[in-house]
Amino acid sequence: MDDFEAVSLLYADIWGSEPGRSPLSAEAMRALSHAGNYVAGAYEDGRLVGASVAFFGAPIGTSLHSHITGAVMGRGVGLALKRHQRQWALARRLTRITWTYDPLIRRNAHFNLVKLGACPREYLTSFYGAMDDAINGGDESDRVLAAWDLTAPAPLAASELPADAAHGLRDHGGHPETVAIDADTVLVDLPDDIEALRRTDPGAARAWRLALRHTLGGLLAEGARVVGFHERRRYVVRRTAPDS
């Protein structure tokens, strides 16, 4: 239990939660672990620096849902945890890992799509309701469901854009600007730092949330696919799936 308590405290510190309101309790982790699910910690010189918790999902026997991963930044801990999680899943003959993330946070989008090769599948509006921790700042918890195909050979990338690419949502002086277009390839910009914006200009942060919900959420609902993440700041979305 001491290890689970340490993870719960680490999560509370990362998310800036109030005392006693960690994103995940030690008791829940104990139960999930005992039932055979994935609960792992990353240590550096004997100090806990990251942890991840996942449970089996649908389709049964093929999928793992990664509920929460938290790690100190800038040390490669998060990537090490996801690689460990991948090996754990493959050892149990699973072929897919899913998780949700805030699509407004650029570093998370780059990590998930480019470093790992996960693909956004569904836009989930206010998935957890309003969240008042330091990271979310009272914002509505829109999330994207990402799916990581563990058998896929290469991650998503978008170093070159198709000639027909056009902005459906652009950053205009720090504020979102939506554009009505019918291009097959749609570019969806993200703000430089949504977490800072929530603190300094909540109105602008709210505008970004609604604009992304309308643009990216609308495209995914229509059946469009995210095919890349360009220059660490914009989703590349195809209305018509490329031939493969």
**Helical H runs in the chain?**
2-15, 26-34, 77-91, 106-110, 194-200, 202-212, 218-221
Give yes or no for residue 17 having a pLDDT over 90: no
Q: What is the mean pLDDT of residues 134-163?
A: 79
Are 79 and 115 contacting, i.e. CB atoms less than 8 angstroms apart?
yes
Nearest partner of 27 among 4, 11, 54, 9, judged by Cα: 4
Could you read off the pLDDT of 216-242 as tens digits, one per residue? 999 999 999 999 999 999 999 999 755
Cis, bond preceding 59 (omega within 30 deg of 0)? yes
Categorize the per-residue pLDDT at 136 as very low, low, confident or very high, splitting at 50, 70 and 90.
low
- Alpha carbon distance 128, 140 (integer Å): 8
Categorize the per-residue pLDDT at 160 as very low, low, confident or very high, splitting at 50, 70 and 90.
confident
Contacts of 49 (CB under 8 A, 6+ apart): 42, 43, 71, 72, 75, 77
Bin 71: left if φ > 0, else alpha if -120 < ψ < 50, else beta. Answer: beta
- Alpha carbon distance 81, 149 (integer Å): 17
Give yes or no for residue 182 having a pLDDT over 60: yes
Task: Give the CA distances from residue 205 to residues 107, 128, 140, 178, 212, in Å, rounded to whole numbers and listed in that order.
Answer: 17, 18, 10, 15, 11
Q: CA dihedral in degrees (63, 186, 111, 126; nearest 10)?
A: -60
Domains with residue ranges and CATH for the chain: 2-149 (3.40.630.30), 166-238 (no CATH)
Give yes or no for residue 210 having a pLDDT over 60: yes
- Alpha carbon distance 43, 46 (integer Å): 6
Bin 235: left if φ > 0, else alpha if -120 < ψ < 50, else beta. Answer: beta
Could you read off the pLDDT of 18-64 as tens digits, one per residue? 778 899 999 999 999 999 999 999 999 999 999 999 999 999 999 99
Model pTM? 0.89
Could you read off the pLDDT of 89-104 as tens digits, one per residue? 999 999 999 999 999 9
Give yes or no for residue 244 having a pLDDT over 70: no
Burial tier of 235 (Cβ tally within 10 Å: 0-12, 13-18, 19+) = buried
Nearest partner of 184 among 210, 204, 165, judged by Cα: 165
Q: What is the mean pLDDT of residues 128-137?
A: 65
Beta bridge partners of 235: 188, 229
Categorize the per-residue pLDDT at 133 as very low, low, confident or very high, splitting at 50, 70 and 90.
low
- Alpha carbon distance 60, 89 (integer Å): 13
The number of residues in the chain equals 244
What are the tokens at 189? 């910009």
